[in-house]
Amino acid sequence: MNDTRTRVLFLCTGNTARSQLAEALLRHHAPERFEAHSAGLEHAQVRPETIAVLEEAGISTDGLRSKGVDEYLGSMHFQWLVTVCSDAEENCPRIWPGVSHREHWPIDDPALVKGVGRLDAFRAARDDIDARIREWVARVGV
């Protein structure tokens, strides 16, 4: 059986928070319609706050790991490329093989918040991305 789901790549600088949130949320909301992936221009470890705010919302974190663009570039084709930070929008390859749709969702980086409000910043990013995912899924109508 062929997988006819639309492939989506969420791209950010480090693939530790915003793009991970987007990947998990799209998998949660429309797994039958979309194959969600995420990557970073650079990559590190997924931030523990990312995992925490997904789990507190009942969103699966299975399989989430930080990946670099090199893991996908030239080896997997995507119909959609969505950048979730300005750095990725400015510095990712302008031409991505196979991508027919590209969007930029400017999301504030919750990792820049220090101290007491840090977890709340991750929650705000999660909620912002969740609203964008829901609107996007309804709009693209794949």
Identify whether 106 is a catalytic site residue. Answer: no
Catalytic residue among 85, 107, 111, 133: 85
Identify whether 92 is a catalytic site residue. Answer: yes
Catalytic residue among 92, 121, 129, 133: 92
Give the whole-angstrom CA distance, residue 121 versus residue 32: 30
Identify whether 52 is a catalytic site residue. Answer: no
Catalytic residue among 8, 11, 12, 17: 12
Helix/strand/coil for 34: strand
10 Å CB burial of residue 135 (0-12, 13-18, 19+) is exposed
Active-site amino acid positions: 12, 85, 92
